Amino acid sequence: MHPKEKPDVNKVKFGSVFTDHMFKMNYTVNKGWHDPKIIPYQPVTLDPAAMIFHYGQTVFEGLKAYRTEDDQILLFRPDQNFQRLNRSSERLSIPHVDEEEVLYYLKQLIALEKEWVPKGEGTSLYIRPFIIATENNLSVHPSACYTFMIILSPVAAYYPEGINPVRIYVEENFTRAVKGGTGTAKTAGNYSAAYNAQNEATKQGFSQVLWLDGVEKKYIEEVGSMNVFFKINGEIVTPALNGSILEGITRKSMIELLKSWDMPVVEKRLSMDELLEAYNQGLLEEAFGTGTAAVISPIGELIWRDQKMKINGGETGNVSKRLYDTLTGIQTGKKADSFNWTIQVNSLDETTSN
Amino acid sequence: MHPKEKPDVNKVKFGSVFTDHMFKMNYTVNKGWHDPKIIPYQPVTLDPAAMIFHYGQTVFEGLKAYRTEDDQILLFRPDQNFQRLNRSSERLSIPHVDEEEVLYYLKQLIALEKEWVPKGEGTSLYIRPFIIATENNLSVHPSACYTFMIILSPVAAYYPEGINPVRIYVEENFTRAVKGGTGTAKTAGNYSAAYNAQNEATKQGFSQVLWLDGVEKKYIEEVGSMNVFFKINGEIVTPALNGSILEGITRKSMIELLKSWDMPVVEKRLSMDELLEAYNQGLLEEAFGTGTAAVISPIGELIWRDQKMKINGGETGNVSKRLYDTLTGIQTGKKADSFNWTIQVNSLDETTSN
């Protein structure tokens, strides 16, 4: 096999170029998960009746490998991703994977594809583990077989010209998720369900939408496909996990960082009314989304009905900046990892934990 | 190509055997939908980064072809299915298909696979049109390319031993859909989202769950993956389309039939409290689900919290029976089709409308 030519990572679009190899493992009721292997990156051949095409039984994860200045390769909290994968699978009636086993294979795959982890500020190798239902059957029931895959994609810096606060509006028509639904799971259907809202936002010149709860349409849940944080009168507030919000690993890490700095951080139910009131009193100091892709995405302007909130003069706030610098610093080995969040990937079969 | 041997349809499980041919057509931004063709039934080869695997952008339909006693092949309201496919596509940001064009190809495909339409009471050829997103890209946005397919599966009688009323309970934890979500669209994610609830129902010896609205958890929406009807004090009641209920074509046909019989039928918001009150007053006379697979599925027993409602003594009611007999009679050519609901499929390229 001839390895592909590695692209200029700063010229590739997110998630459009893939490395030479992938990981694959199958599940059947009789054998459980079996036959794990690293293989050349290759197409998937499925029957048109494969259940993934019809009933959406699928889960995924997203994480990154980073190259340090001294050419070590680091993974950021991959154990958390595989734990969440299993929680998502539970919601979708998909059998659990062995978290340690898939982490072992992920490290082997990254070690093999080491040269694909790009150099350069803000770049990384995006990692996409996912499971699809592969039984060929149109009856509506959990699949009897599945395929787990991991594919890798080198990605450019999210902010090549520095962090840029974005304009957001509060979505009032479409609903992202509701209690008892699949909002807490990282599953395909949640994402395409948001396209209509995103298209409308883009058309109106906004970057994303702010999602409210699906029941009362009063409480803040997420922003685009990120978790959301606010700094109100010195306190950092993020919506509490309520059965429809995705448990972001960046979200969790931000909360842990803030606590380590002795900054007041609370997870609670937060209504748009409260947020607007804080704004009107001059107490809404910062707002930002958090996620694997962007790490931090500051919100410079937030529109709700006929109210326009300009936050921190449309500039990135100090807490946003400090969180961004610290987390990306830890991820890329520039800052000490006092939380033991990163795992170093060494040569094949010699990967060790930091 | 050697045609497959046709199975004994009464021994095959629903949706597990497929015919010799399928229809396929592709979409790209530049060309629109193009290259429609009927090809041998064959696997689909996709890149592991194909968007269908990651963001669930997909819609489908389900309808049937029936063989009449004099060996004509009938389709039941296929125009309605393709109209709904386009409505579903709108919700999922998928480009519309030309309804007349796909109906033309469906008729060609059925004509070619005529021998696969089974003989025998209650049997049919199940038709599954579906569209999947095929761009290879992990960025969260509507796909730039799609594949539309139609596959066919001979299916046994749904009730080989006659209609059997089922036991149902009212789901209180999981939510099927909510206003602003994807509940009105026939899209994959809605179906796997219901597996947890269905698994629990099966474990407890129930056949399905009755879904309530996702906001107040008070109002009746659907039963399993069917629409639901009740006969209360002589009036037929079905939940009004409210932005989270699927617009069933069987549902619509039942309403039209009932109206043609001058039977009182209303679409309205119906709460569990009202239903229980009607039951306690001895006014809940019948309850049944409607859908393409079963046509009518009578509910013999309905459990809500600590209340057990035994409906019509656990037997199939007269209205349920009459609707079932009439609709299946029209579908299979045994009864006069005064609504012009059926379309006759003739030889290749000679299909005509009734």
Taking an 8 Å cut-off on Cβ atoms, the answer to whether A214 and B139 are in contact is no
The percentage of chain B sitting over the pLDDT mark of 70, rounded to a whole number, equals 97
Q: Give the pLDDT confidence of B29-66 residue by residue, as tens digits.
A: 999 999 999 999 999 999 999 999 999 999 999 999 99
Q: Give the pLDDT confidence of B312-333 residue by residue, as tens digits.
A: 999 999 999 999 999 999 999 9
Confidence of residue B172 (pLDDT cuts 50, 70, 90): very high
Give the model's pLDDT for residue B352. Answer: 47
Q: Kindly list the residues from chain B whose CB atom is less than 8 angstroms away from the CB atom of residue A182.
A: 189, 193
Give the model's pLDDT for residue B163. Answer: 87
| Strand-pair partners of A336 | none
The percentage of chain B sitting over the pLDDT mark of 90, rounded to a whole number, equals 92
* C-alpha dist (Å) from residue B159 to A332, B18, B234, B312, B318: 62, 21, 27, 19, 17
- The mean pLDDT of B97-110, rounded to a whole number, is 98
Closest residue, chain A, to B128 (C-alpha): A138
Q: Kindly list the residues from chain B whose CB atom is less than 8 angstroms away from the CB atom of residue A136.
A: 16
Confidence of residue B349 (pLDDT cuts 50, 70, 90): low
Kindly report the length of chain B. Answer: 354
Quickly count: other Cβ atoms within 10 Å of residue B95's Cβ. 18
A4 touches chain B (CB under 8 A): no
pLDDT of B225 above 90: yes
Q: Positive or negative, the Cα torsion across B193, B197, B199, B201?
A: negative
Give the model's pLDDT for residue B354. Answer: 43
> A53, A125, A131, A137: best mutation site toward chain B, by most B Cβ within 10 Å?
A53
| Strand-pair partners of B268 | B239
Take residue B333 and report the two structure tokens written for it: 């050519």
Give the model's pLDDT for residue A1. Answer: 63
How far is it, in rounded angstroms, from Cα B232 to Cα A232? 54
Give the model's pLDDT for residue A349. Answer: 61
DSSP A116: G
B60 touches chain A (CB under 8 A): yes
Output the CA torsion A126→A130→A136→A142 (10° steps): -160
Taking an 8 Å cut-off on Cβ atoms, the answer to whether B175 and A174 are in contact is no
Take residue B26 and report the two structure tokens written for it: 């592709």
Q: Are B59 and B187 in contact (CB under 8 A)?
A: yes
Q: Is the ipTM of this complex over 0.90?
A: yes
Closest residue, chain A, to B179 (C-alpha): A175
Q: Give the pLDDT confidence of A208-247 residue by residue, as tens digits.
A: 999 999 999 999 999 999 999 999 999 999 999 999 999 9
Longest dimension (CA), chain A: 64
Q: What is the mean pLDDT of each run of 10 residues along chain A (354 residues)?
A: 86 94 98 98 98 98 97 97 98 98 98 96 96 97 98 91 91 96 97 97 96 97 97 98 97 98 98 98 98 95 97 97 98 97 82 46
How far is it, in rounded angstroms, from Cα B208 to Cα B287? 13
> A134, A138, A145, A219: best mutation site toward chain B, by most B Cβ within 10 Å?
A138
Q: Give the pLDDT confidence of B277-312 residue by residue, as tens digits.
A: 999 999 999 999 999 999 999 999 999 999 999 999
By Cβ distance, the residue of B54, B128, B198 closest to A138 is B128
Q: Are B239 and B228 in contact (CB under 8 A)?
A: yes
By Cβ distance, the residue of B142, B151, B188 closest to A55 is B188
Within 8 A by CB and 6+ apart from A243, the residues are: A179, A180, A183, A184
A166-315 has which fold? D-amino Acid Aminotransferase; Chain A, domain 2 (3.20.10)
By Cβ distance, the residue of B53, B133, B175 closest to A181 is B175
DSSP B144: S
Residue ranges of domains in chain B:
9-160+341-345, 166-315
pLDDT of B134 above 50: yes
Take residue A347 and report the two structure tokens written for it: 């040569």
Pairing of strands A235-239, A265-268: parallel
Q: Are A296 and A324 in contact (CB under 8 A)?
A: yes
Pairing of strands B295-304, B166-170: parallel
> A192, A198, A219: best mutation site toward chain B, by most B Cβ within 10 Å?
A192
How far is it, in rounded angstroms, from Cα A146 to Cα A195? 27
B176 dihedral zone (left: phi>0; alpha: psi -120 to 50; beta): alpha
- The mean pLDDT of B89-96, rounded to a whole number, is 98
pLDDT of B169 above 80: yes
Q: Give the pLDDT confidence of B69-86 residue by residue, as tens digits.
A: 999 999 999 999 999 999
A144 touches chain B (CB under 8 A): no
Closest residue, chain B, to A174 (C-alpha): B180
Confidence of residue B2 (pLDDT cuts 50, 70, 90): confident
Closest residue, chain A, to B12 (C-alpha): A137
- Number of Cβ pairs < 8 A linking chain A and chain B: 221
Using alpha carbons only, what angle is made at residue B99 by residues B97 and B104, rounded to the nearest 5 degrees? 115
Q: Are A146 and A36 in contact (CB under 8 A)?
A: no
**Terminus-to-terminus CA distance in chain A, angstroms?**
33
How far is it, in rounded angstroms, from Cα A124 to Cα A153? 9
How far is it, in rounded angstroms, from Cα B151 to Cα B128? 5
Pairing of strands A208-212, A166-170: parallel
Residue A166, burial from CB neighbour count under 10 angstroms (0-12, 13-18, 19+): buried
B9-160+341-345 has which fold? D-amino Acid Aminotransferase; Chain A, domain 1 (3.30.470)
